[in-house]
Amino acid sequence: MSGENLETKSDLIATLVAIVGPQNLLTGDDLESYEQDWRKRTQGKSLCVVRPGSTEEVARVIRVCAAARVTIVPQGGNTGLVDGSVPDASGTQVVLSLRRMNSLRALDPQNMTITVDAGYVLQLLQEKADEAGFLFPLSLGAEGSCTIGGNLATNAGGTQVVRYGNARELCLGLEVVTAQGEVLDGLSGLRKDNTGYDLRDLFIGSEGTLGVITAATLKLYPKPVAKLTAWAGVNSLEEACQLLSMAHQFMSSSLTGFEVMNKFSLSLVDKHYPHLRVPLWEQVPWCVLIEVSDSESEEHARGLFERLLEKAFEDGLIADAIIAENIKQAQDLWHIRESITLAQVEEGFNVKHDISIPLSLMPDFVREADSAIAAAVDGVRFVNFGHLGDGNLHYNIQAPESMRGKDFVEQYEEQIGRIVYDTVGKYQGSISAEHGIGSLKIEKLTRHKSPVAVSLMHSIKKALDPMNILNPGRVIQVQSFF
Ligand code: FAD
Ligand code: MLT
Ligand code: ZN
């Protein structure tokens, strides 16, 4: 629908109001929380924001928008980091916010599953599982506001993947509204179901481009009896990788977290949040955060840690280490790790990359990329941190001290991105480990993924959303199927 066609526009809005009620259709100039991305890089403008309260309402909204040829941007908590959840600047897209759909539909203790609406906030789900005596292990810095629908649409990772896998591995079934406004009821709690193509896995990670997730059935796990966290200083990324291998050997499936943080990333936390009192960061180039979840006892977990750290000291892998004495200390250490993203924001705009590399090649990758970028732009500062246990590094570049972040990004993002992604390709890695493609990396996908894969993705998009109604301009470049 063209922006000038006011008659059609007001007709459409009236129809949408009739579906969701006047209080759940928002228009106007104060829609920043829906129209601006979390990093404040992109400010879009929507035709309106629609907040349906049920699956049936979602289906009706999609049918009406499809009939009017108006495109839809599904949105959960709007914490995504790749510009996938906000409208473009045209003022013609409908933001479909799932946040009102936040009911717990079922909890089946025997089947160890929980079924929730898509707008259920991740942290509330963790708490609900905990109250019922279970663990829902997905955990990430945005958990206080991101939603299960968004987590599945992005196949989110986070800090527990080394043991429990990405959001995909935690999902048994989905309810999805298709681009035609039909409801696909796949809310199965089955752990085995080989009845043809796996439609669930097609929608997971599709970033709102193939269907709108309205509910999910998720796996619950036994709660560990004890959790322990240690913080260690290491002298190189090689040593961090060797320590990770040792941790796998010593802890086996009790290893639930292994994060790495370089000195500069921790210096930013120290600078912007000095009250967090970052340990060891001044003495070593890298720190690691290790978490063990034990099904026996705290003593057993502590024993595992002591043996690991003893051997690591003996082999010269760690310079210093502390084991959290209690839950509060462990939470404080995790809080430092989760504060890096915010400290980076405080420091100013930066160039962000979310890459994965085979662990055996990770140190060589970082060495090569660091030196190529330092040669290209004088004085850049490297913010390297992430989920080393998954081979996933947030390889971010902060502006030189002498330069404004915004100018730096405008001037160098493309050039630095090229160096990083070409080096990622050389080291057999991925240009997006966990944040997705959104619109930020859409051109990079075509450049760095195999033509066969891109062509198959194109065919899937065309088959499922032939009118290109759902989140156009995200994930895969489509001229238009209209
Ligand atoms: P949104 O941001 O609203 O949407 C993300 C994408 O999913 C968009 O393309 C949107 O169109 C689509 N979408 C949303 N809901 C639906 C739905 N119901 N149906 C279909 N499509 C939908 N990510 C990680 O993977 N690991 C991390 O460790 C991590 N840490 C973070 C820390 C911070 C401080 C922040 C701000 C973000 C972090 N993220 C991380 C990124 C982000 O939180 C995740 O991508 C999260 O899964 C997005 O959920 P959301 O509900 O906010 O989705
Ligand atoms: C994290 O691991 O903290 C997140 O993915 C956020 C980020 O990359 O900044
Ligand atoms: Zn991350």
Residue spans per domain, the chain? 6-97, 104-222, 226-341, 348-426
pLDDT, residue 480, reads: 75
Residues 27-67 have pLDDT tens digits of: 999 999 999 999 999 999 999 999 999 999 999 999 999 99
Residue 54, both tokens: 């049920």
**Confidence (pLDDT) at 7:** 58
Q: What mean pLDDT comes out for the span 68-77?
A: 97
Residues whose CB is less than 8 angstroms from the CB of residue 392 and which lie 6 or more positions away in sequence, other chains included: 157, 161, 354, 355, 356, 386, 433, 434
Reported confidence tier of residue 83, pLDDT bands at 50, 70, 90: very high
What would the pLDDT profile of 207-219 be if each residue is shown by its tens digit?
A: 999 999 999 999 9
d(CA 446, CA 477): 8
For the domain covering 348-426, report its CATH number: 3.30.70.2740
Q: What is the DSSP letter of 252?
A: G
> Ligand 3 mean position to 387 CA, how many Å?
6
**Quick check: 412 and 418 in contact, CB under 8 A?**
no
* The architecture CATH gives domain 104-222: 2-Layer Sandwich (3.30)
- Check if 226-341 and 348-426 are the same fold: yes
Question: Higher confidence at residue 1 or residue 109?
Answer: 109
Contact 80, 438 (CB under 8 A): yes
Structure tokens at 330: 């462990």
Q: Looking at the predicted structure, is the pLDDT value of residue 481 above 90?
A: no
Residues with C-beta less than 6 Å from any ligand 2 atom: 141, 341, 354, 386, 394
Its CATH class, for the domain covering 226-341, is alpha beta
Question: Which residue shows structure tokens 């309260």?
Answer: 53
Report residue 269 as tokens: 């936390």
**Residue with CA nearest ligand 2 atom 6:** 341
**For 341-369, how does the pLDDT look when each residue is reduced to its tens digit (9 = 90+)?**
999 999 999 999 999 999 999 999 999 99
In the predicted model, what is the mean pLDDT of residues 140-145?
Answer: 98
Cα–Cα distance, 222 to 125 (Å, whole number): 15
pTM: 0.97
- Distance from residue 297's CA to the centre of ligand 2 (Å): 31
Q: Tokens representing 204?
A: 């997971």
Of 162, 299, 295, 309, residue with least CA distance to 250: 309
CA distances in angstroms from 100 to 20, 95, 117, 224, listed in the order given? 11, 13, 9, 32
* Cβ 35 vs Cβ 73: under 8 Å: no
Q: Mean of the pLDDT values across residues 312-317?
A: 97
Q: Indicate whether residue 205 lines ligand 1 (CB < 6 A).
A: no
Give the model's pLDDT for residue 479: 79
> Mind giving me the DSSP string for 302-350?
HHHHHHHHHHHHHTT--SEEEE-SSHHHHHHHHHHHHTHHHHHHHH--E
Provide the H-helix boundaries in 108-261: 122-131, 148-153, 161-164, 199-203, 237-251
Residue pLDDT, tens place only, 234-257: 999 999 999 999 999 999 999 999
- Percent of the chain's residues with pLDDT above 70: 99
In Å, how far are 136, 185, 194, 219 from 191, measured between CA atoms? 16, 16, 10, 9
Token couple for 243: 């320590």
As its CATH architecture, domain 6-97 has 2-Layer Sandwich (3.30)
pLDDT at 283 over 70: yes
Average per-residue pLDDT for the chain: 96
203 CA distance to ligand 1 middle (Å) = 14
Average pLDDT over residues 130-157: 98
Q: CA–CA separation, 353 vs 209, rounded Å?
A: 22
DSSP 469: -
Ligand lying closest to the C-alpha of residue 436: 1
Ligand 2 probe mutation, 38, 79, 81, 122, most atoms within 8 A of CB: 81
Q: Are 66 and 180 in contact (CB under 8 A)?
A: yes
**Spatial distance between the Cα atoms of 164 and 70, rounded to a whole number of angstroms:** 39
Mean pLDDT across 402-431:
97
Is the CB of 82 inside a 6 Å radius of any atom of ligand 1?
no
Residue 4: pLDDT above 50?
no
Of 401, 384, 290, 402, the residue nearest 340 (C-alpha): 384
pLDDT tens for each residue of 371-416: 999 999 999 999 999 999 999 999 999 999 999 999 999 999 999 9
pLDDT higher than threshold 90 for residue 312: yes
| Closest-approaching ligand to the CA atom of 102 | 1
**What pLDDT is recorded for position 2?**
43
Q: How far is the CA of 394 from the centre of ligand 2 (A)?
A: 7
pLDDT of 24 reads 98
CA distance 58 to 180: 11
